[in-house]
Amino acid sequence: MDRNSIIGFSLIFLILTGYYWYTSPTDAELKEQARQDSIALVAQKATQAEQNKQVASEQSTTGKTKDSAKLDSTLIGSIGSFAQQVNGDNKEISIGNKEITLGIQTRGAGIGRVTLNNYKRSDSSKLELLEPNSNRWFFELFTSNGPLKSSDFVWKVEAQSASMVRLRLGDSLQHIDLTYRLDPEGFEVYSQLKLVGVDQLIKARNSGVRLEWNAQLHKQERDFKWENQNSTVAYKLVGEDPDKLSEASEGEEVLKNRVQWVAFKQQYFSSVMLAKDGFSTDAKLGWTAIPENRQLETGKIKAMSAELYLDYEREKEKVYDLSYYFGPNQYYTMQEAKLGGGDHQLQRIIPMGWGIFGWVNRYVVVPVFHALDGIIGSMGIIILLLTVIIKTALLPLVYKSYISTAKMRILKPELDEIKEKHGNDMQKMQSENMALYRKAGVSPLSGCVPMLLQLPILFAMFQFFPNAFELRQKSFLWAMDLSQYDGPSLGFNIPFYGDHVSFFTILMTVSTLIYTHLNNQISGVTGQMKYIGYIMPIIFLGVLNDYASGLTWYYFVSNMITFGQQWVIRRTVDDTKLHAQIAENRKKPATKSKFQQRMEEAMKMSQQRAAANAKGKKK
């Protein structure tokens, strides 16, 4: 491997390391999370009995629920026909379509259970995004005698079909209707909350409707680590781009602007709630960590919460259009979900990278991957073809880098003579090197620039594959799931490496070491630079060991295609012609670029200052 390639790869490694460090939680964040976990564990133990009692009384599908004696008597006397629906058993009403099945709870009229019909958890059990015993949705109206909470009542079923249900609280003159409807296909749920004749109950003109949603997210994937790191609360403010809470730091955030939608996001699935006209200001969003021992016991990873407000000014009749998305974090599926009409950018929940890296993913990688997915059944073959397309597009840069390397190899004997002659005077050596490059028509940066121009693709792939839903539970060769590492567990932990083996990562590392060895032989690199190229693949062996096997399969295929490209280029490039070209350039009058002029002026000024300092010391 020549010096320019080593410099280029070193820069790539440093940037990747910086990116990995930047996106990882800091020590302070980890300590704070550990402290919060301890606090949460103590609080959870202190309140466990009360929580179990509440779950049994309010969310069980078979148990008895609260009666009127447990409600404030003043409130009971003021809510008219609503009071008749305090007593009763909670039942689950099932509606659905091809993609999802909902379990609507008659107590509270909320969505208690969400099952994705065509997907499985990593243990092959049915995939439930939300479960009644860990998901609670209700709303409150603030009456003059206290809060009227939807979960205090058993709602009547007014109408029902296979894909629709309408529930009612109250009578024909004064009631609240809550309707859920699904299309024959799709992951969208359309809901309507209708208030009729309840204006006289409301305490103040601008009290609004308070909506609360709490859910403990269930582990869906094999690896707790990645699902923890990729689960958070995402949201979109009206008129702004989507945003999210930090995945590493638990806590609560108050949003001062109107909110379009809120999502409880996991690694590969999301539960989204959207208001057509937006939620009011002062929404509170947050999440808390579930202690590791409780994660293993309950299968839950994080507890999400959202407190939202709907505007209500005591209208005689008021209708709210709410929509939900319960489905995969799949780019085009989310993009085409028209909740409430319009484009609400749900696909921005998927982390595609920032800046130019996200642009490359959204407008280059995702469309190409999607097109291949439509005609080829094997994800491993799709990754191979995607790699071929990318490497073919980058071939001109690879060719230019090789030509620069070949020219530098031709000049190496003269560069070595200059180094031997002026080894102790770096400024003089650099000055003569620049003069030699200028006469020969060679730029020392021409080998590094093509490497740097490939960075957006490299970073895009690094971000794309670990978040590509299409790879989930798709097998290839020995890899059972391309979204997870592909090897067996070791049964013990090796520092820096981990407790398992990833075969694609090993293949990637071995192929990179072979490539480095061959290039060192060809380019004649000696000294410390010769060994730097061997260090980086070893480091990546540990860093990428627990990444998605689809990513390391891509890197391995990329290395193999690079071998082929380098072999073809070496067979077609004639070093004799390059010698002749350099010799011809030496005969031409040397012209200086503005960059070279500035470099020489800077070196002259530096030499003058050094000479002045040396003269001053002699005095």
Residue appearing with tokens 């909350």: 193
pLDDT recorded at residue 208: 83
Residues 150-188: b if buried by 16+ CB within 10 A, e if exposed: bbbbbbbeeeeeebebbbbbbeeebbbbbbbbbeeebbb
Question: What is the model's pLDDT at position 71?
Answer: 64
Confidence at residue 116, expressed as pLDDT on a 0 to 100 scale: 96
| Residue 175 reports pLDDT greater than 70 | yes
434: left (phi over 0), alpha (psi -120 to 50) or beta: alpha
User: From CA 70, how far away is CA 88, in angstroms rounded?
Assistant: 13
Supply the pLDDT for residue 45. 42
Could you give the CA distance from residue 575 to residue 587 in angstroms, rounded to a whole number? 19
Max mean pLDDT range (82-96, 173-187, 447-461): 173-187
CATH number of 59-350: 2.70.98.90
Average of per-residue pLDDT across 262-268: 95
Instruction: List, edge to edge, every strand of the sheet that includes 146-149.
Output: 146-149, 135-143, 209-218, 300-310, 283-289, 251-255
Q: Which residue, 277, 110, 247, is CA-closest to 179?
A: 110
Residue corresponding to tokens 């099945």: 101
Confidence grade of residue 526 (pLDDT, cut at 50, 70, 90): low
Q: For residue 19, what are the contacts with CB-CB under 8 A and spacing of at least 6?
A: 459, 462
Model confidence at 54, in pLDDT bands (50, 70, 90)? very low
pLDDT for the residue numbered 46: 41
Mean pLDDT, the chain, rounded, equals: 80
User: Could you tell me the end-to-end alpha-carbon distance of the chain, in angstroms, rounded to an integer?
Assistant: 48
Domain boundaries, the chain: 59-350
Please say if the pLDDT value at position 393 is more than 50.
Answer: yes
Query: Which has the minimum average pLDDT: 101-105, 397-401, 584-588?
Result: 584-588
Interval 242-255 mean pLDDT: 91
pLDDT for 455: 79
Decide: 313 and 180 in contact? Cβ < 8 Å: no
Confidence of residue 47 (pLDDT cuts 50, 70, 90): very low
pLDDT tens-digit readout, 529-578: 667 777 888 888 888 888 899 999 999 999 899 888 888 888 877 767 77
For residues 258 and 237, is the Cβ–Cβ distance under 8 A?
yes
One-letter amino acid of 8: G
348 in helix, strand or coil? helix
Please give the average per-residue pLDDT across 590-606, as a whole number.
60
Cα–Cα nearest to 341, from 264, 277, 263, 272: 277
Cα 435 versus chain centre, distance: 48
Instruction: Tell me the H-state helices in 524-548.
Output: 528-543
Q: What is the pLDDT of residues 453-494, one digit of tens each?
A: 777 888 888 889 889 999 999 999 999 999 999 888 888 888
Q: What is the pLDDT of residues 319-334, one digit of tens each?
A: 999 999 999 999 999 9
**560, exposed or middle or buried, with CB in 10 Å at 0-12, 13-18, 19+?**
middle
The confidence band for 199, taking pLDDT boundaries of 50, 70 and 90, is confident
Residue 34 pLDDT level (bands cut at 50, 70, 90): very low
pLDDT value, residue 422: 67
pLDDT of residue 74: 61
Is pLDDT larger for residue 408 or for residue 504?
504
This model's pTM is above 0.95: no
Amino acid at 145: N
Average pLDDT over residues 118-123: 93
The CA distance from 373 to 354, in Å, is 25
Q: Which of 357-361, 412-416, 442-446 has the lowest mean pLDDT?
A: 442-446
DSSP 361: I
Half-sphere exposure of 466 (CA within 13 A, CB side): 20
Report, as an integer, the average pLDDT of 407-433.
Answer: 71
